[in-house]
A and B are shown apart, each in its own frame.
Chain A
Amino acid sequence: MTAPELRVFGIRHHGPGTSRALLAALAGFEPDCVLVEGPPDADDLIHWLAHPALVMPVALLVYRPDELKRAVYYPFARFSPEYQALRFALERGVTAGFMDLPQRHTLALDYTAAMPPPGVFQEVAAAAGHDGYEAWWDAVVEQGKGHAGLFPAVLELTAGMRQATEETAAGETPEARLARQREAAMRARIRRAARAGHTRIAAVCGAWHSPALVDAHRTPGEADDVLLAELPSVAVAATWIPWTYGRLARSGGYGAGIHSPGWYDHLWASGEAGLSPAEMSAGWLAAAAALLREEGMDTSPGHVIETVRLAEALAAMRGRPFPGLPEMEDAALSAMCGGDGEPMALIRRRLIVGERMGMVPPDVPAVPLQRDLSAEQARLRLRPEPEASALKLDLRKEMHLERSRLLNRLTLLDIPWGTTVKARGLQTGTYTEVWQLQWTPGLSLRVIEAAAWGNTVRDAAAACATDAAAGRAELPELTEMIDQIIMADLPEVLPAILARIEELSTMKRDVPHMLAALPPLADVVRYGSLRQTADHLPLLRRVFDRLLTRACLGLPGAATAIDEGAAADLTERLSAAATAVRLFQAEEATGRWQQALGRLADRDGIHPNVAGRATRLLLDEAALRPDGALARLERALTPGGSVDVARYAADWLDGFLRDSGLLLLHDRALWGAIDGWLTALDPERFQAILPLLRRTFAAYPEGVRQQLQDRLREAGGRGATAAIQMPTFDPRRAAGVLPALGRILGLPAAAEVTT
């Protein structure tokens, strides 16, 4: 038997340039076994990477079925060297495997392996005249041509770096020991491959580990076996889940996330297409220009040309062979975006980070979220059925309440298994909920997609809602969300929603929406006696207080120069907000609120409907003495004047009296004032405002109207009835138009005769 040959390829996770160099090196080496840094617990899952229905980026998820929160994600993009190495092995039909310390050990521990000290990387970068190691590596490796000498050079460099740090290390922490155990496991795996008869072994690992592996096949394994003995072990499961570039940019199982997946994707695609660095830059900037044009900014090819020139001038000035991402960003900002950060943020989100989302075949092993969902479904006795069915829940029963929560959480996760229906004949505000349930096959895919949010329905829903809250752009959407998360019992999402409410209320001066946000918040403050909600109470109170303060400051402005519809809307919201302020029970807030109402009641130019309601609310809260309210009423109902004055009075009265006929019944002084005003109106003005008055009074319930009528009769309503007189007109002259009218209405000619 010939001695096996081992090649160690030190890579950077997610490096497109490394990937290209690695593929070239693998093709030259022709290995019969490819080992990749990753969890051997998932060896059985590697073959899925060649499945035609799998779309990158995806992540390998390894978790403990007994404790779903303990999980590790290994994301891969199409430009990741690990993925390319595994694909290489799958396509050639040679053995492919993971070689890291199995997660069945790592997940049994409550600490993670030590990371290499950052200082040494910084030194290397500084020596090469770069701001950071990442930037240096990007410029030298990822954007380079991918020459064959890369891996020996990386090996030499990291060997030197490791030596420099090992000299300073003293004493061993469990974390440092775990780091050594990981490398021991990799060596052990390489030896196993050699024993199995593989003669050309390729090991792909993070550059840092490469010096520790180069001699693995030549050294005896006893020391490593000692190091690896007696590691605790737990049961783990693994599967593939879809991933996104956004998540890749945030974090990952392989140390820190990368900043620019979209840019790397472009580098990879350009490399695949055999483009030169110059074509690569031009292509990327042209994509940026197209993006800006899509958003309505005029960005011409001339802009692109100038941007490319500036990027090249910058690269020359900074001593780089060709522009890298920092040069591209600087040039695009200055030459394409006119120094404006906003279009630049768009470029960053869409092109530098990117929005690509992966997909996994539907038959990969079930994700933990699916397992948790199945367990919940069994516990709550809710079977997923393909036929639609109705489910009526009585929220006073614990089991029903929990079912409602599960369905609400799934809705938050965009897995719409159930939709609430407004049952006919059911009054709102009862303890009853009616759901329409139907499990469609598409929902199973949604579960897989949602798996990235968390491993239990509860955690995933909370994480997803927290993320969604940050993206909401309107206050009403957020207030709606408060209701949703209360129904889903996810109080941990509250801070995110509150923070966003706070942010939006500062940015937008939308008083009606601010007012509308108050009642749900007050409900949570007042009734949210749930234990978990209590933790967020101070924050909740602060946001309520600020929101109220802002609304109060903006109220007079929001009630000036508005049309009838807006005024009616504002009036409604004022009442709801008043209830909220009462519930909130804070002296200072109440004082502030009443001051604002006072301004609404008294200031010139406020819409009469709003002014009337403000006066009414002040009266209700005893912030205004009845005679004060009466004085304002009389002022508003100034007799005489033009039709506009009468209309003002009617609008004011509508705001003041709408939905509260009982007040009118019981307050004699009020009655008298209104009666006096009404009877003093001359017929022409009375007719002009009659529809408006009807609007106010017609909304009263039947009983109240009846009582009002009775009161009118007993209080000498004769005057009122007497005022209604039949108008006098000349029947002969009126008859003259009837034939024409009859023809217009298409009546038979005989009708004319009857006149």
Chain B
Amino acid sequence: MITTIQRELAEQAYRRELEALARADRRQRPPNWRLSPWAVATYVLGGTLDDGTVITPKYIGSSRLIEIAIATLTTDRALLLIGVPGTGKTWLAEHLAAGISGDSTLLVQGTAGTSEEVIRYGWNYASLIARGPSAEALVPSPVMTAMRGGQIARIEELTRIPSDVQDALITILSEKLMPVPELGEAVQALKGFNVIATANDRDRGINDLSSALKRRFNTVVLPLPATAEEEVAIVTRRVADLSKTLELPAELPAAEEIRRVVTVFRELRGGLTEDGRAKIKSPSGTLSTGEAISVVNSGLALAAHFGDGRLAAEDLAAGLTGAVIKDPVQDTTIWQEYLETVMREREGWDALYRACRELA
């Protein structure tokens, strides 16, 4: 029987690299770590080992940030990765867990409905009713499993979890202990246990961490792509991929169009024109690279199904306006201001300016 897995885990996809690193790694490993901090950094940032094995970079960006993240996991504190969507928080967390514990599956997905059982432990109710509370009836959470094995547990979207549930983590992170009063015992974490949480500080409907919990984390803020070139390249590649999947009968957009969208996004997001000469107010939305991709894609879809198959300014304008104006009161003024003070004066942007102005 042939099974096709849609997506391989990090530790499966990069097994060879992890093995080569473990062989080459002569440095001191913290208790229960599969690799030394240095080797984990190399695994994430890429490099070439002495035996010639090439380690592909998993995260492209500041090596200082990765070093802070890994160093944090060797200390008492847990790691909190913050950033707007599309900055690679989850991706980085998965690879750190794979590099350190060789297992990236001890994962809790945070939602507004996440309950304490998901973080602590639950019960197999059939067994509980039949035999009463027993170790066999207990269903450990990924966090509990990680504590028992001295591994890394991951909590995705920590800030979406209701505040009272979040605070269940305090004892776990400070005492490294999870009491199970029903059984009259407690699980004590083995060395090597730690938590990587990801959170997004721009979205609505998030629950800020209590200061008691915040104190248990070191925070690393993951930035958006550093240069326009990098971002244009990401958008171009992803747009090409997606339009192939969606089988859109439209011409791929010119680099010029993508550059404009990326420029608008970067300027509004950064609060500064690319030439650095004028400040701009940023709208309330996130304006991540992912959003830029979807603006170009929906523009392409418009052009394909309702236009002449070529991406025109009008096709982009609708998507752009929608992406920027998330709060109809505040953002409209910000967007108009941007149109009138920045776009209007820019050469070659007439078509886009007029199209956007009509909609604004």
The answer to whether the Cβ of B45 comes within 8 Å of any Cβ in the partner chain is: no
Pick from A298, A313, A330, A549: contact of B340, CB below 8 A. A549
Quick one: CB contact mask for B325-338 with A, threshold 8 Å, 1 for yes? 00000000100110
Q: How many residues does chain A have at the interface if contact means C-beta atoms less than 8 Å apart?
A: 34
Evaluate contact between B279 and A310: CB separation under 8 angstroms.
no
Does B77 lie within 8 Å of A306, measured CB to CB?
A: yes
CB–CB A334/B340 < 8 A: no
Q: Is A43 an interface residue (CB 8 A)?
A: no
* Contact assessment for A310 and B77 in the assembled complex, using a CB-CB cutoff below 8 Å: yes
| Contact B77–A553 (Cβ < 8 Å) | no
Which positions 644-667 of chain A face chain B at CB distance < 8 Å? none
Given A334-B219, A549-B337, CB of A313 within 8 Å of CB of B278: no
| Cross-chain contact B70 with A317 (CB below 8 angstroms) | yes
Q: Does B227 contact A (CB under 8 A)?
A: no
Q: Is the CB of B71 within 8 A of A310?
A: yes
Name the residue on A nearest B40 (C-beta).
Answer: A317
In the complex, the answer to whether A330 meets B64 with C-beta atoms within 8 Å is yes
Residue in chain B with minimal CB distance to A326: B64
- A507 CA to B82 CA, complexed, in Å: 25
Please name all residues of chain B whose beta carbon is closer than 8 Å to the beta carbon of A536 when the two chains form the complex. none
Q: Once the chains bind, are A317 and B71 in contact (CB under 8 Å)?
A: yes
Partner of A339, one of B75, B220, B280: B220
Closest chain A residue to B64, Cβ basis? A330
Looking across the interface, which residue of chain B has its beta carbon closest to that of A302? Answer: B215
A310 in contact with B72 (CB, 8 Å):
yes
> How far apart sit A549 and B341, CA to CA, in the bound complex (Å)?
7
A 578-614 binary contact with B (CB < 8 Å = 1; else 0) = 0000000000000000000000000000000000000
B67 contact set on A, CB distance < 8 A: 314, 317-318, 330
Number of A-B contacts (CB under 8 A): 87
A338: contacting residue among B70, B214, B280, CB under 8 A? B214
Which A residues lie within 8 Å of B70 (CB)? Answer: 317
The reply on A309 being an interface residue by CB < 8 A is yes
Q: Is there contact, CB below 8 Å, between B82 and A339? A: yes
For residue A349, CB closer than 8 A to chain B, the reply is no
B206 to chain A, nearest CB (A): 15
Say whether, besides A549-B341, A554-B333, A331 and B281 are in contact (CB < 8 Å).
no
Let me know if A310 and B337 touch, CB within 8 A.
no
| Nearest Cβ on chain A to B313's Cβ, whole angstroms | 22
Q: Is the CB of B337 within 8 A of A306?
A: no
Are the CB atoms of A334 and B215 closer together than 8 Å? no
Given A339-B220, A339-B221, A553-B340, A506–B77 Cβ distance below 8 Å?
no
* Chain B 60-80 interface residues, beta-carbon cutoff 8 Å to A: 64, 67-68, 70-72, 74-77, 80
Bound-state Cα–Cα, A507 to B37, Å: 42
Q: A507-B279, A549-B341 are in contact. Are A306 and B37 (CB under 8 A)?
A: no
**Contact residues of B between 198 and 256, Cβ < 8 Å to A:** 211, 214-215, 218-221
* Contact indicator per residue, chain A 677-700, by CB within 8 Å of chain B (1) or not (0): 000000000000000000000000
Q: How far is the CA of A316 from the CA of B74 in the complex (A)?
A: 11
Q: Is the CB of A300 within 8 A of B220?
A: no
| A306-B76, A309-B76, A557-B333 known; A317 vs B37 contact (CB < 8 Å) | yes
User: Could you give, for residues 327-346 of chain A, a 1 whenever the CB lies within 8 Å of some chain B CB and a 0 otherwise?
Assistant: 00011011101111100000
Q: For the complex, is B121 an interface residue (Cβ under 8 Å from A)? A: no
Given contacts A310-B72, A331-B68, A338-B214, contact A507 B340 (CB under 8 A): no
**A339 cross-chain contacts in B, Cβ below 8 A:** 80, 82, 219-221
Of the candidates A303, A331, A553, which one forms a contact with B333 in the assembled complex, judged by CB atoms under 8 Å apart? A553
Q: Is A634 an interface residue (CB 8 A)?
A: no
B121 to chain A, nearest CB (A): 28
Contacts A300-B215, A506-B279 given; does A314 touch B337 at CB 8 Å: no
Chain A residues within an 8 Å CB radius of B82: 339
Given A306-B75, A550-B337: A330 in contact with B215 (beta carbons within 8 A) = no
B123 within 8 A of A: no
For the complex, give the distance between the alpha carbons of A306 and B281 in Å.
Answer: 36
Q: Is the CB of B215 within 8 A of A303?
A: yes
Is the C-beta of A502 less than 8 angstroms from some C-beta in chain B?
yes
| Residues of chain B lying within 8 A (CB to CB) of residue A310 | 68, 71-72, 75, 77, 218
- Cα A339 to Cα B337 in complex, Å, equals 30
Q: How far is the CA of A503 from the CA of B280 in the complex (A)?
A: 8
* B38, B75, B279: residue with the most chain A Cβ atoms closer than 10 Å: B75
Closest to B221 in A: A339
Q: Tell whether B41 is near chain A: CB-to-CB under 8 Å.
A: yes
A557 to B332, CA, bound (A): 12
Report the minimum CB–CB distance from A254 to chain B (whole Å). Answer: 29
Q: Which of A302, A506, A553 contacts B280 (CB 8 A)?
A: A506
Cβ contacts B40-71/A at 8 Å (1 or 0 each):
01000000000000000000000010011011
- CB-based nearest A residue for B74: A313
Look across to chain B and name the residue whose beta carbon is closest to the beta carbon of A547: B341
Chain B residue nearest to A299 (CB atoms) is: B215
Nearest A residue to B30, CB-CB: A313
Residues in chain B near residue A326, CB distance under 8 A: 64
A506, B281: Cβ atoms closer than 8 Å: yes
By a CB distance below 8 angstroms, the chain B residues around A550 are: 337, 341
- Partner among B68, B211, B279, B340 whose Cβ is within 8 Å of the Cβ of A503: B279
Residues of chain B with a CB closer than 8 A to A302's CB = 215
**A703 to B: closest C-beta gap in Å:** 45
* A313 adjacent to B215 (CB under 8 Å): no
Task: Provide the residues of chain A in CB contact with B340, threshold 8 Å.
Answer: 549, 553
Find out whether the CB atom of A507 lies under 8 angstroms from the CB atom of B281.
yes
- What sequence of 0s and 1s flags, for each residue 265-288 of chain B, a beta carbon within 8 Å of any chain A beta carbon? 000000100000011110000000
Nearest Cβ distance between residue B243 and chain A, in whole angstroms?
36
- Inter-chain CA distance A506–B278, complex, in Å, is 9
CB contacts under 8 Å to B, within A544-587, are 546, 549-550, 553-554, 557
Q: Which residues of A contact B76 (CB under 8 A)?
A: 306, 309
Partner of A334, one of B38, B68, B214, B278: B68
Please determine whether B341 and A309 come into contact, CB atoms closer than 8 angstroms: no
Knowing A302-B215, A550-B337, the reply to whether A314 touches B71 (Cβ < 8 A) is yes
> Given B75, B219, B220, which contacts A313 in the complex, CB threshold below 8 Å?
B75
The answer for the CA separation of A317 and B33 in the assembled complex, in Å, is 14
Quick one: which of A303, A314, A340, A502 contacts B279, CB cutoff 8 A? A502
Q: How far is the CA of A553 from the CA of B329 in the complex (A)?
A: 12
Return the contact of B219 from the options A314, A317, A338 (Cβ within 8 A). A338
Question: Contact flags (1/0) for B144-186 with A, using CB distance below 8 Å?
Answer: 0000000000000000000000000000000000000000000
Give A338 to B219 CA distance when docked, in angstroms: 5
Q: Which parts of A289-319 form the interface with B (CB within 8 Å)?
A: 298, 300, 302-303, 306, 309-310, 313-314, 316-318
When distances are taken between beta carbons in the complex, the residues of chain B under 8 Å from A557 are: 333
List residues of chain A with CB within 8 A of the CB of B68.
Answer: 310, 314, 330-331, 333-334
A331-B279 Cα distance, complex, nearest whole Å: 30
Q: How far is it, in angstroms, between the C-alpha of A298 and the C-alpha of B279 when the chains are bound?
A: 31
- Candidates A335, A340, A502; contact of B278 at CB < 8 Å: A502
Shortest Cβ distance from B69 into A: residue? A334
CB nearest to B83 among chain A residues:
A339
Q: Residues of A contacting B221 with CB < 8 Å? A: 339-341
A298 vs B215: C-alpha distance when bound (angstroms)? 10
Q: Is the CB of A317 within 8 A of B281?
A: no
Give chain A nearest CB distance to B280 CB in angstroms: 6
24 A-B residue contacts at CB 8 Å? A306-B215, A306-B218, A309-B77, A310-B72, A313-B75, A316-B37, A317-B67, A317-B71, A318-B67, A326-B64, A330-B64, A330-B68, A334-B68, A334-B218, A334-B219, A337-B219, A339-B80, A340-B219, A509-B333, A546-B278, A550-B341, A553-B333, A553-B337, A553-B340
Closest 3 CB pairs of A and B: A339-B219, A339-B221, A313-B71
Known: A507-B281, A550-B337. 20 other contacts (CB 8 A): A306-B75, A310-B71, A313-B37, A313-B75, A316-B71, A317-B74, A330-B67, A331-B68, A333-B68, A334-B218, A334-B220, A335-B77, A338-B214, A338-B219, A339-B80, A339-B219, A339-B220, A503-B279, A549-B337, A554-B333
